[in-house]
């Protein structure tokens, strides 16, 4: 049995739940983190010493022994895709897989921080939002998302013609970006890609939800 720990409102947990549903996996979702608590227990500390969400344990990886425990959302995505989605979420061609990998890492290295500024300013702690910092973050994100828009001009998904693990982290964040009360540039290719994601039941179930 696959077990997934985390709260469904966390963007990083949404990535894992979405991937698991895309792969048709049976899993137990253990709700912890944020207002639900549970990450300060000794058991969770053994699972994830950073005491963050998400984390998973997969009995299938160690039959008859202790299940493998994995933390960090993108490491979890790569594990699930490689183990259960070879040729689909995990592109078979190394070049395509590299494309998926690059856009996954782009979430952390480029858009992560300005997205955090907007999320905290508009959703998590609006009473203490820094208007100047939020405007600067919105302006940067307009430029950054335009890079993905240009990339999507001649392909349906980030790694080419087919949906892959690379679409999941950026897909989670673009849903939030499109719902912040900000002015956004016209990015038709990105919008069309988002529309394609919105046709996927698992995306609607786990990502197209109210931000908390």
Per-residue pLDDT tens over the stretch 171-199: 999 999 999 999 999 999 999 999 999 99
Q: Which residues contact 176 (CB under 8 A, 6 or more apart)?
A: 11, 115, 118, 119, 211
Adjacent-strand bridge partners of 56: 4, 70
SS3 168: helix
Per-position b or e across 122-154, b if 16+ CB within 10 A of its CB:
bbeeeeebeeeebeebbebbbebbeebbebbee
Beta strands 2-5; 27-30: pairing state: parallel
Q: What is the band of 64 on the pLDDT scale with cuts at 50, 70, 90?
A: low
Give 62's DSSP letter.
Answer: S
The CATH code for residues 2-84 is 3.40.30.10
Q: What is the pLDDT of residues 116-161, one digit of tens each?
A: 999 999 999 999 999 999 999 999 999 999 999 999 999 999 999 9
Question: What is the average pLDDT across 43-68?
Answer: 88
Instruction: Tell me the CATH architecture of domain 94-204.
Output: Up-down Bundle (1.20)
Contact between 145 and 177 (Cβ < 8 Å): yes
Q: What is the pLDDT of residues 196-207, one digit of tens each?
A: 999 999 999 999
pTM of the shown model: 0.96
pLDDT at 63: 66
Contact between 51 and 45 (Cβ < 8 Å): yes
Q: What is the pLDDT of residues 76-93, one digit of tens each?
A: 999 999 999 999 999 999
pLDDT of 66 over the 80 cut = no
Q: How far apart are CA 71 and CA 56, in angstroms?
A: 7
Q: What is the band of 69 on the pLDDT scale with cuts at 50, 70, 90?
A: very high
Share of the chain above pLDDT 70, in %: 99
Q: What is the band of 38 on the pLDDT scale with cuts at 50, 70, 90?
A: very high
Tokens matching residue 39: 């990450």
pLDDT of 1 over the 90 cut = no
Domain segments of the chain as ranges: 2-84, 94-204
Q: Please name the helix (run of DSSP H) or strand (run of DSSP E) that holds residue 65, with its range, or none.
A: none
């Amino acid at each position: 049995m696959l077990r997934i720990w985390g709260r469904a409102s966390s963007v990083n947990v949404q990535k894992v739940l979405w991937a698991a549903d895309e792969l048709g996996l049976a899993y137990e979702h253990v709700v912890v983190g944020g207002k639900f608590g549970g990450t300060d227990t000794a058991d969770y500390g053994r699972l994830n010493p950073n005491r963050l969400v998400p984390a998973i344990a997969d009995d299938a990886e160690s039959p008859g022994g202790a299940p493998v425990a994995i933390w960090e959302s993108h490491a979890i995505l790569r594990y699930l895709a490689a183990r259960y989605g070879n040729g689909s979420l995990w592109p078979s061609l190394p070049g395509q897989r590299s494309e998926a990998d690059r856009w996954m890492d782009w979430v952390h290295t480029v858009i992560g921080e300005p997205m955090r500024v907007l999320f905290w300013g508009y959703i998590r702690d609006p009473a203490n939002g820094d208007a100047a910092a939020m405007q600067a973050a919105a302006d940067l994100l307009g430029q950054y998302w335009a890079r993905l828009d240009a990339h999507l001009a001649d392909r349906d998904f980030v790694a080419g013609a087919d949906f892959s693990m690379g679409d999941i982290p950026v897909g989670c964040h673009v849903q939030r970006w499109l719902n912040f009360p900000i002015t956004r540039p016209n990015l038709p290719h990105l919008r069309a890609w988002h529309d394609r994601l919105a046709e996927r039941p698992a995306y609607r179930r786990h990502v197209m939800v109210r931000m908390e």
